[in-house]
Amino acid sequence: MAVVTDQVTLTVDGQSVTVAKGTLILDAAKKLGIEIPIFCSHPKMEPVAVCRMCLVEVEKMPKLQPACAVYVMDGMVVRTRTEQVQRYQNGVLEFLLANHPLDCPICDKGGECPLQDQTYTYGPGASRYDFPKKHFDKAVPLSDKILLDRERCVLCWRCTRFSAEISGERELALIQRGKDTIIGTFNDQPARSEYQGNWTEICPVGALTSRQYRFISRPWDLDRTATICPGCSMGCNVHADARHNRLGRFQARENLAVDDGWLCDFGRYSFPSFQREGIERPRVRRDGRLEEVSYEEAMAAAAQSLRRAGPATAGWASPAATNEELFLFQRLLREVLATPHLDHGRGRGEAATALEPDDAALPIADLERCDHVLLLGGQAVIDAAPVLHLRLFKSERKGVRVHRVDDARAALEAVPAEAQAVGIVSSLGRKPEVDSLQGKLARKVKGSVRRLLVPDGPNGRGATDLGFGPGRGPGYASLDGKAGRARPDWEAAGVRALYLFEASPLHDFQASGEEREWIQRLETVVLQRPRPSPLDDLAHVILPGRAFVEKAGTVTNMEGRVQRIRPAIDAAVVRDDWKILQGVAQALGADWRYRDPDEVFADLSRAVPAYRADRIGERALWSERA
């Protein structure tokens, strides 16, 4: 009896390859290292086979076949470089270029353009057309973020398919028919999607480009750094591209477990907030005026004032600070100044709610493997981590029931008792409701119930894991009755000195009028921050530090994944924040001798064994908690 397997064997250009049934010819060839040129095909979208660039010969099939849309069969014989294939590739490119403006020298895609590259490799050396090309208005604004150049469009439908299949917004469409087909929005209304930057990355030509990146750089002039988006706790992986030490753009850096290769516009276009304008020196207030001093003098002045306040000091850290910085800062506060008052909540009315390891028990990618997902809080949760929407929409397309609900009772009713895997996604502020809902669901349904809470900032999760709050120490260690007070209670707790550590303009210390008045009355305010702040007027010591894109270290995303950030901008003139924290601690008498963030991480992982240097890039292992 013949053995039935899920594998098929075929040959591509004379080489044999075995792949799973349901594989496209394009992917089987890729497995052999054979490149077939494409325009419309995209690995995350359904095949449409509209550009015809990938045509190949398949034995026993009378016509050439699109490799991006034909699935392999056992015994198939595919040829990708025959004379006929090459003639067709040449012809497809000649047609695509018939109306293409060939304005590569002024096109932002130039140098990283598949049309340019494939014309060189597979196209004709010259055009036989001498009639006038079709013209459209150049650089039509589709929104405040994107420009559309219809002359360059090759009608590959990638952008429209993204809009339909990836974000589900259906904002872009093919308008008119045949040779008059164009890309546009309904009634030419400005695009409102929060994911428009992705259109520019998937467009295989310079038809859709980012306004922010217009004429900024050629790709070969960019210095590329693999780092993490500073926008939120999703922790999307990005390439930060800089030219002459100025950021030019963020591009997606696919991490299937986190971002699935996409970014939201909030994060993607946040980079101008991080441009450093000018060089700053530390300052100390003397006789009411801020005077420039050296780092050593400023750190000594900070230490002197903080020593006076001692346990009456409170420390606030941005949820965008790195794990290494947060670990050192909490040591400085708890061990050196003996104060228990730590917080990273961003508004005075908002103490940082205490997360628990279980709040990250549902990995982002596992949303696709649930049968029911409850989005408790609906759009507000998405607004806090926009790329979550793309993962949820993908999950829905795979058959997951996603319930967008605003109250826990509706959530409980939405899930049937026979559910096998239930996920609850919500914001940190709704933790008490989520905890109670999870308990009720666990009693109601047959399967598992896990939760994923979205904290504030790219490292709100790390801040809690490392004990940067009043109630728990690093690794959720008990404080043995020595818990401190949260930010809203600092005035009542008799706090006299404040050490504020900002790390990102997107996640800084936002003081209400009332809180400013209180800060104004304090005897000491030390402000460590990457750029001028509205709090400068109130500070007694200002210690310029580095912004998120200027430093090395690790941050932890909402699902507990510890990821490296790297400096995309050289800010050598400004001292590293971990060094400043160490300098202040040393000035207070601490014998700290860390030489780099890796040494801090090594120490940190002794205090928090769930964080391990050999697992950076993975989720923290809380089951191994000591």
Which residues contribute to the site for ligand SF4 (CB under 6 A)?
A: 153-159, 183, 203-205, 207-208, 229, 231-232, 234-236, 259, 263-264, 266-267, 385-387
φ and ψ of 517, to 5 deg: -60, -40
Task: From the list ligand FES, ligand SF4, none, pick the one residue 229 interacts with, judged by a Cβ distance below 5 to 8 Å according to partner type.
Answer: ligand SF4
Task: From the list ligand SF4, ligand FES, none, pick the one residue 329 interacts with, judged by a Cβ distance below 5 to 8 Å according to partner type.
Answer: none
CB 305 within 8 A of CB 312: no
Least Cβ distance, residue 171 to ligand SF4 (angstroms):
12
Q: In the beta sheet, which residues pair with residue 264?
A: none
Nearer to ligand SF4, 208 or 242 (CB): 208
Taking Cα atoms as reference points, which of 300, 293, 334 lies closest to residue 317?
334
The pair of structure tokens assigned to 8 is 């098929």
Q: To the nearest 10°, report the CA torsion of 115, 117, 119, 123.
A: -130
Nearer to ligand FES, 96 or 258 (CB): 96
CB 132: neighbour CB atoms within 10 A? Answer: 7
Nearer to ligand FES, 76 or 608 (CB): 76
Nearer to ligand FES, 64 or 497 (CB): 64
Look at the chain and count its residues. Answer: 626
Least Cβ distance, residue 100 to ligand FES (angstroms):
16
Nearer to ligand FES, 66 or 545 (CB): 66
Nearer to ligand FES, 157 or 468 (CB): 157
In angstroms and rounded to an integer, the radius of gyration of the C-alpha atoms of the chain is: 28
Least Cβ distance, residue 261 to ligand SF4 (angstroms):
11
CA 154 to chain centre: 29
Least Cβ distance, residue 253 to ligand FES (angstroms):
24
Least Cβ distance, residue 101 to ligand FES (angstroms):
21
Nearer to ligand FES, 39 or 509 (CB): 39
* Cα separations in angstroms, 621 against 477, 561, 610, 615: 16, 9, 5, 9
The pair of structure tokens assigned to 408 is 């826990």
Least Cβ distance, residue 174 to ligand SF4 (angstroms):
8
Least Cβ distance, residue 151 to ligand FES (angstroms):
20
DSSP state of 421: E
Pairing between β-strand 421-427 and β-strand 448-454 as defined by DSSP bridges: parallel
- The residue to which tokens 């904002």 are assigned: 171
367: amino acid identity, one letter: L
Least Cβ distance, residue 37 to ligand FES (angstroms):
8
The pair of structure tokens assigned to 412 is 């409980």
Whole-angstrom Cα distance, residue 621 to residue 611? 7
Nearer to ligand FES, 41 or 556 (CB): 41
Least Cβ distance, residue 620 to ligand SF4 (angstroms):
18
Least Cβ distance, residue 208 to ligand FES (angstroms):
17
CB 314 within 8 A of CB 495: yes
Burial class (CB in 10 A: 0-12, 13-18, 19+), 336: buried
Nearer to ligand FES, 41 or 80 (CB): 41
Q: Where are the beta strands (DSSP E) in 346-496?
A: 372-376, 401-405, 421-427, 448-454
Nearer to ligand FES, 166 or 388 (CB): 166
The pair of structure tokens assigned to 72 is 């392999």
Task: From the list ligand SF4, ligand FES, none, pick the one residue 236 interacts with, judged by a Cβ distance below 5 to 8 Å according to partner type.
Answer: ligand SF4
Q: Which residues contact 76 (CB under 8 A, 6 or more apart)?
A: 8, 10, 11, 25, 58, 59
> In the complex, which residues of this chain contact ligand FES (CB under 6 A)?
38-41, 49-54, 66, 68
Greatest Cα-to-Cα distance within the chain, rounded to the nearest angstrom: 96
Task: From the list ligand SF4, ligand FES, none, pick the one residue 52 interacts with, judged by a Cβ distance below 5 to 8 Å according to partner type.
Answer: ligand FES
CB 39 within 8 A of CB 69: no
Task: From the list ligand FES, ligand SF4, none, pick the one residue 68 interacts with, judged by a Cβ distance below 5 to 8 Å according to partner type.
Answer: ligand FES
Nearer to ligand FES, 54 or 506 (CB): 54
Task: From the list ligand SF4, ligand FES, none, pick the one residue 355 interacts with, judged by a Cβ distance below 5 to 8 Å according to partner type.
Answer: none
Task: From the list ligand FES, ligand SF4, none, pick the one residue 155 interacts with, judged by a Cβ distance below 5 to 8 Å according to partner type.
Answer: ligand SF4
Least Cβ distance, residue 380 to ligand SF4 (angstroms):
14
Taking Cα atoms as reference points, which of 542, 136, 578 lies closest to residue 327?
578
Task: From the list ligand SF4, ligand FES, none, pick the one residue 54 interacts with, judged by a Cβ distance below 5 to 8 Å according to partner type.
Answer: ligand FES
Task: From the list ligand FES, ligand SF4, none, pick the one residue 115 interacts with, judged by a Cβ distance below 5 to 8 Å according to partner type.
Answer: none
Task: From the list ligand FES, ligand SF4, none, pick the one residue 483 interacts with, judged by a Cβ distance below 5 to 8 Å according to partner type.
Answer: none
Taking Cα atoms as reference points, which of 26, 92, 544 lies closest to residue 302?
544
Least Cβ distance, residue 52 to ligand FES (angstroms):
5
φ and ψ of 421, to 5 deg: -145, 110
Least Cβ distance, residue 29 to ligand FES (angstroms):
12
Nearer to ligand SF4, 199 or 509 (CB): 199
247: amino acid identity, one letter: L
Task: From the list ligand SF4, ligand FES, none, pick the one residue 267 interacts with, judged by a Cβ distance below 5 to 8 Å according to partner type.
Answer: ligand SF4
Whole-angstrom Cα distance, residue 527 to residue 530? 10
Task: From the list ligand FES, ligand SF4, none, pick the one residue 319 interacts with, judged by a Cβ distance below 5 to 8 Å according to partner type.
Answer: none
CB 575 within 8 A of CB 295: yes
Whole-angstrom Cα distance, residue 506 to residue 512? 17
Task: From the list ligand SF4, ligand FES, none, pick the one residue 581 interacts with, judged by a Cβ distance below 5 to 8 Å according to partner type.
Answer: none
Nearer to ligand FES, 52 or 138 (CB): 52
